[in-house]
Structure 1
């Protein structure tokens, strides 16, 4: 059964402006440790790929926070929600600490879809009960 649905669109120009103002500190605030490693690798090769990665993860976390009905309030935090790719390339949500406990205690499962274009990243999250 559907528990919640969330969607978000992110203007990559705003993400670029935040990176210009705050440097990597902005990425460190938004990304978990595994995501930060991918961001650095992609940025080193092609800066636009790093920007798209950061924007798509920002968008996905916004969508996830809407789908679980918490917004950006505890236990939902930027860094405790990571969106990582499986070996197949499929994006998956990985939760940590208190957010993982909160999510598991409700018997929930999340599905995420991401897309990006030159100026925008968008995401869609469906959270369902495991029953």
Structure 2
């Protein structure tokens, strides 16, 4: 089994400024409709999900798509962080993020989100199956 990790921290004020400056244009470019509904305008929650997207991109070994993006990048909305019935954060991948996870033989991604004292943080951990390890060249 192989384990991949990613971590990100963001100032909540940074996300607040982006929302104030760009409004719905920013929010809809970064977050899925389900994420927008879940966060219900709570900047702390939006910031935590921003950090989650960055943390997952890091464990995938790619950047986030934006101006000057490369082939090794994913769109923000390719990584969606919602919650399960018990309130635990979940990650769903689509598009380039999903393709990259398949390349890495990632079987599952767990994520933890938190925000306090003006900061939001996310830690993401992904694992492959033991069988995937045998297929890797090293």
TM-score, with length taken from structure 2: 0.80
1:53 aligned partner: 45
Give the 5 Å matches for 1:116-127.
116-127=115-126
Alpha-carbon deviation of 1:121? 0.6
- In the alignment, the residues of structure 2 paired with residue 11 and residue 130 of structure 1 have an alpha-carbon distance, to the nearest angstrom, of 35
Indicate whether 1:17 and 2:17 are aligned. yes
* Cα displacement string for residues 20-60 of structure 1 (whole angstroms, at most 9, x for unaligned residues): 11112111111022112223xx22xxxxxx10111000000
- In the alignment, the residues of structure 2 paired with residue 65 and residue 97 of structure 1 have an alpha-carbon distance, to the nearest angstrom, of 13
Task: Show structure 2 runs of 5+ residues with no match.
Answer: 66-71, 131-138
TM-score, with length taken from structure 1: 0.84
Alpha-carbon deviation of 1:105? 4.3
**Cα pair distance change 1:81/1:8, threshold 3 Å:** same
After the TM superposition, list the runs of 4 or more consecutive aligned residues in structure 1 that deviate by more than 6 angstroms: none
Q: Count residues in correspondence.
A: 123
Say which one has the larger Rg: 2
1:80 aligned partner: 78
1:100 aligned partner: 98
